[in-house]
Amino acid sequence: MTPTSRSRPQQGALLDLPATAPQAVDGEGVSEPVARVVVDVPLPHLDHTFDYLVPPAMASVALPGTRVQVRFAGRDRSAYVVERRSDTDHRTTLAPLRRAVSPVPVLSPTVLDLCRAVADRYAGMLMDVVRLAVPPRHATTEKAVLEKHAPGALVSRVVDPPDSQAWQAYTGGPAFLRHLAAGESPRAVWTALPGHEPVPGAALSNGSASVESTVEPTVPAGVLPWPTSIAQAAHATLASGRGVLVVVPTTRHVTQVVDALAAILPNEPVARLVADDGPARRYRAFLRTLLGEARLVVGTRAAAFAPVTDLGLAVIFDDGDDRLAEPRAPYPHARQVLALRAEREGAAMLVGGFTRTVEAQLLVEQRWAHPVQAPRELLRRVTPRVEAPGEVELAREGPAAAARIPHPAWRIAKEALTTGPVLVQVARGGYVPVVACARCREPARCRTCHGPLRLERAGAAPSCSWCGRIAADWACSTCGDTRVRATRVGSTRTAEELGRAFPSVPVVVSGATADHGVVETVDDRPRLVVATPGAEPVARGGYVAALLLDGATSTSRPELWASAEALRRWLGAAALVRGAEAGGRVMLLGQPAPVPAQALVRWDPAGFAARELAERAELSFPPAVRLAAVQGTPAAVRSLLGHLEPLDGLEVLGPVAVEAPDPRTEAPAPTRRPRTGSPRAAARPVPPRPLVPEPEVRAVLRVDRRQGAALSRRLAHAAAARSARKEDGGVRVQVDPPDLW
DNA sequence: ATTTGTGTGCGG
DNA sequence: CGCACACAAATG
């Protein structure tokens, strides 16, 4: 691995000085007295290395990978040493390092190389990526970990490969594990089967309440919960003496994977890298990874950069979850980070999920990864029977066809509740999250801020979901009517209705809203579980049935990804239900779009992904092509586009005005600090900052996928040229923007 | 951002 | 000519 420690040439045509011959530096006894560093400055044209002199006192501390402080443009800035050398290409005398912050080389050459690749791919700055990769230092934790750490005690335990039963359910599965165990680096896109933890005792005792279960369903070998399958792949990789990194969307997923690893590899330490754990625990887990104390690392998106020693396998699960995309510049996606990493470090990769994302489909079609999925016959047995009755079928059943929960759905729930738990997936949380005028159906809005009104609980007056004001004397601005009706029904109200219909069955609500938290698990007793997508509790032994309400709500969104996202959510819920062989049933309701609905009924996420990708190729949409969005004030966007060097086949769409920022998500007024401490600031005329932020525009750049790297390079150059000229008005450059259309 | 270097204009 | 101020370039 070659770290990219070479000083990059000055950006653009601004400064094309003849390369100065490296000059030896007299270090007064210090060997390699030059520290090449990356400095934390937010200016794109300064996104390269700088050389400093290492004072004798820091000679053995300021080693490559360590944090230091340097004087830069008159201020102390934090920086990382990326290289130590004995010469410099800088012409004038070097300034000394100010302070060695810590002796721990937190930025390893491998991770630095990855950060550079990610920055390049996303047209961003190296330091922005490094900030994502290296968690903030926690001094007391660092001291504690270093004191306890005994380098000699690191025993690379030899692990035997997993038994040959593992992954047998999947075509190509055993081969995948075999290659991992042999130290090779296969890549797979894995469509996971629903698997359920067996109910203790149920498989053995035949005195179950279920009368007709004379035939005990035989769960085929290898149909296991997804975290267990991942643990088996990790096991195989450990057998080759290499480390494993697993990245998942949420803390909840992390816990599931950590538990599965503990069950299969009880003696193997696991590092849990989750930002939610807080600075101390997060930094401790990071250091344990860095020191090689844990070869198994599990975490959320930032963990994609974890310094796993000798990485053998990178895993990402449920890669369609938007929480795997980093919200800070340069907005890298964990799937992409891991893919770059697998290539650069020669590691294997596993992209898994119940659905198959369009991006994963592209990896398959490019032959970058092999598909790993179950044969049709097995799939039919272990997935639930799914129905998506159309209006015609429902009308045959009786007059209540248009009801949110039509008669056939009630019947499924009633039958299932005699045996075990039933899941009801509802698109929205809360009680009645959106109301409209009862007469003209115009959405009801707040008189003060024009936010949408909702009902927070039974019998409550409507209130604004943006500002919280109670709209006690609301009247429709269109027709004057004072009555409201529900346009969306949330999980709380749904639970209320279901509770009335099944008074003898307990009802559980799970969701990320304030009223109630996310419920992790439920047992196998009869119970109604109402949950929003992603918050479905795992039921021991699997749900007997699931009702997926609000089908249209999830597919009618205008975004490009709406139907793929709907299918992902439906499959996520349906995968918690027992297989058809064990009586599991799913009903999809609420007029969903037919294409994703049929993909669910046939349980064919790969077919859906192939069709979706073909369609996007036809329309020149990503990921079939590479897109980048450039957003900012009109002048700033225009200037950035003006600085772009020509690129074959580059299409520039727009710029067009972007819709007004949403007052819910937009911070109030970004009060600019007047810097009271500095007398200079008072003397300088403050540029007038508009009270109302200037409206922004966005341009979309489109190129062939093979030109993607060239586009990113040009965007980074243009941003550097702009910042070098101190052109103000920030522009946000986003490669692979997730939220277009 | 902040510092440093260079150019310009005006008073002496 | 000398100095203050403005602007541009560089930041090690």
Q: pLDDT digit string (tens) for A710-731? A: 999 999 999 998 888 877 667 8
A115 annotated to a ligand binding site: no
Are A183 and A316 found together in one domain?
Answer: yes
Alpha carbon distance A164, A166 (integer Å): 5
* A570 to A351, A564, A577: CA distances (angstroms): 19, 10, 11
Has residue A685 got a pLDDT over 80?
Answer: no
Alpha carbon distance A247, A133 (integer Å): 14
Any atom of strand B under 7 A from CB of A43? Answer: yes
pLDDT of residue A200: 62
Any atom of strand C under 7 A from CB of A483? Answer: no
Average pLDDT over residues A150-165: 73
Partners of residue A435 on adjacent β-strands: A486
User: Which of A257, A286, A242 lies closest to A106, judged by CA?
Assistant: A286
Alpha carbon distance A589, A566 (integer Å): 12
Alpha carbon distance A487, A475 (integer Å): 17
Are A535 and A397 found together in one domain?
Answer: yes
Any atom of strand B under 7 A from CB of A148? Answer: no
The answer to whether position A132 is within a domain reads: no
CATH of the domain at A180: 3.40.50.300
Are A366 and A436 found together in one domain?
Answer: no
Q: Based on C-alpha coordinates, what's the Rg of chain A?
A: 29
Look at residues A379, A394, A415 and tell me which one is the last residue of a structural domain: A379
The answer to whether position A135 is within a domain reads: no
The answer to whether position A666 is within a domain reads: no
Are A278 and A354 found together in one domain?
Answer: yes
A74 CA vs B3 C1’ separation (Å) = 6
Are A516 and A607 found together in one domain?
Answer: yes
Token pair in block for residue A306:
């974890």
A574 CA vs C5 C1’ separation (Å) = 73
Residue A42, CA: closest nucleotide via C1'? B1
A78 CA vs B7 C1’ separation (Å) = 35
> Do A291 and A308 meet the contact criterion of CB atoms below 8 Å apart?
no
Are A327 and A387 found together in one domain?
Answer: no
Q: End-to-end distance of chain A based on CA atoms, in angstroms?
A: 40
* A463 to A433, A478, A493: CA distances (angstroms): 10, 19, 16
Cβ neighbours around A706 below 10 Å, total? 10
A681 CA vs C4 C1’ separation (Å) = 20
> Do A209 and A157 meet the contact criterion of CB atoms below 8 Å apart?
no
Alpha carbon distance A569, A575 (integer Å): 10
Has residue A431 got a pLDDT over 80?
Answer: no
Q: Which residue is nearest to nucleotide B2 (CA to C1')?
A: A73
Alpha carbon distance A718, A296 (integer Å): 41
Are A373 and A391 found together in one domain?
Answer: no
Q: To which residue do tokens 């937009």 refer?
A: A666
Residue A75, CA: closest nucleotide via C1'? B2
Give the number of domains in chain A: 4
Are A372 and A389 found together in one domain?
Answer: no
Q: Which of A123-132, A172-181, A559-568, A573-582 is least confident?
A: A559-568
For A247, phi then psi, to 5°, come to -115, 130
Nucleotides of strand B within 7 Å of the protein's CB atoms: 1-4
CATH of the domain at A710: 3.30.70
Any atom of strand B under 7 A from CB of A91? Answer: no
A724 CA vs C1 C1’ separation (Å) = 35
Has residue A530 got a pLDDT over 90?
Answer: no
Alpha carbon distance A250, A29 (integer Å): 51
Token pair in block for residue A530:
């109402």
Cβ neighbours around A184 below 10 Å, total? 13
Token pair in block for residue A93:
């005398």
Between A628 and A693, where is the model more confident?
Answer: A628
The answer to whether position A601 is within a domain reads: yes
Any atom of strand B under 7 A from CB of A690? Answer: no
* Sign of the torsion angle spanned by Cα atoms A107, A108, A109, A114: negative
Are A318 and A194 found together in one domain?
Answer: yes
Q: Which residue is nearest to nucleotide C8 (CA to C1')?
A: A725
pLDDT of residue A275: 93
pLDDT of residue A18: 43
Range of the domain at A630: 620-659+693-741
Between A694 and A514, where is the model more confident?
Answer: A694
Any atom of strand C under 7 A from CB of A81? Answer: no
The answer to whether position A609 is within a domain reads: yes
- Strand B-contacting residues in A 3-42, CB cut-off 7 angstroms: 41
Residue A675, CA: closest nucleotide via C1'? B1
Average pLDDT over residues A290-299: 96
> Do A467 and A449 meet the contact criterion of CB atoms below 8 Å apart?
yes
User: Mean pLDDT in chain A?
Assistant: 85
pLDDT of residue A66: 97
Alpha carbon distance A86, A642 (integer Å): 41
A21 CA vs C8 C1’ separation (Å) = 27
CB within 8 Å of A104: residues ≥ 6 apart: A65, A66, A142, A146, A287, A290
> Do A49 and A7 meet the contact criterion of CB atoms below 8 Å apart?
yes
pTM flag (> 0.85): yes
Are A465 and A560 found together in one domain?
Answer: yes
CB within 8 Å of A648: residues ≥ 6 apart: A707
Partners of residue A315 on adjacent β-strands: A246, A350
For the purposes of burial, counting CB atoms within 10 Å of the CB of A20, is it exposed (0-12), middle (13-18) or buried (19 or more)? exposed
Nucleotides of strand C within 7 Å of the protein's CB atoms: 9-12
Look at residues A379, A411, A443 and tell me which one is the last residue of a structural domain: A379
Alpha carbon distance A397, A418 (integer Å): 22
Are A316 and A387 found together in one domain?
Answer: no
Type of residue found at A737: P
Alpha carbon distance A578, A568 (integer Å): 18
Average pLDDT over residues A554-558: 67
Average pLDDT over residues A276-283: 96
The answer to whether position A243 is within a domain reads: yes
pLDDT of residue A128: 95
The answer to whether position A140 is within a domain reads: no
Are A491 and A515 found together in one domain?
Answer: yes
Alpha carbon distance A728, A732 (integer Å): 12
Any atom of strand C under 7 A from CB of A110? Answer: no
Any atom of strand C under 7 A from CB of A494? Answer: no
Partners of residue A102 on adjacent β-strands: none
The answer to whether position A113 is within a domain reads: no
Any atom of strand B under 7 A from CB of A74? Answer: yes
Look at residues A379, A413, A443 and tell me which one is the last residue of a structural domain: A379
A684 CA vs C6 C1’ separation (Å) = 13
